[in-house]
Amino acid sequence: MNASKLAKKIKRIIDRHIKQKGYEVEAVLQTLTGEKMSSGLSIIDNDLPEPIKETIKIVVTGHSIDEEATALGDNPIQKLDFISIEKGIESPEKVVEEGKVLVYDGKHFNIILASPATLAGDLIIKECQARSMS
């Protein structure tokens, strides 16, 4: 079996067992502009442009809390594990990558890991991890 046929079979399995059963949820992926990414703290309001926002679908695989996120042990950080299923034809704003911000369930998460597995260039499944920003 070649990779193209295998990719088609996996797509059918994903459609039947993930998409049709409602395991995919919507989230907003924010791409920060170059100025906003490189700028540090500033007391001057430069009216930086809003980030580019795109709605994507993800499959949440885990949710945990890091209780001792700081040396003092306060301010726990939430961790979100999820899978992104892409076709390889998405616009750059819809591609899940490290450094982008995911808004899920009203909370902002910084994507710290996006590990892709590609099959015949038709199917990209990314195992991702994100940390809360507040």
Domain ranges of the chain: 3-36+49-132
Identify the architecture of domain 3-36+49-132 in CATH.
Beta Barrel (2.40)
- Give residue 44's pLDDT: 62
Of residues 37, 30, 29, the one with CA closest to residue 51: 30
- Give residue 38's pLDDT: 45
Given a cut of 90, whether residue 96 has pLDDT beyond it is yes
Please state the rounded mean pLDDT for residues 33-52: 62
Sign of CA dihedral 48, 57, 92, 79: positive
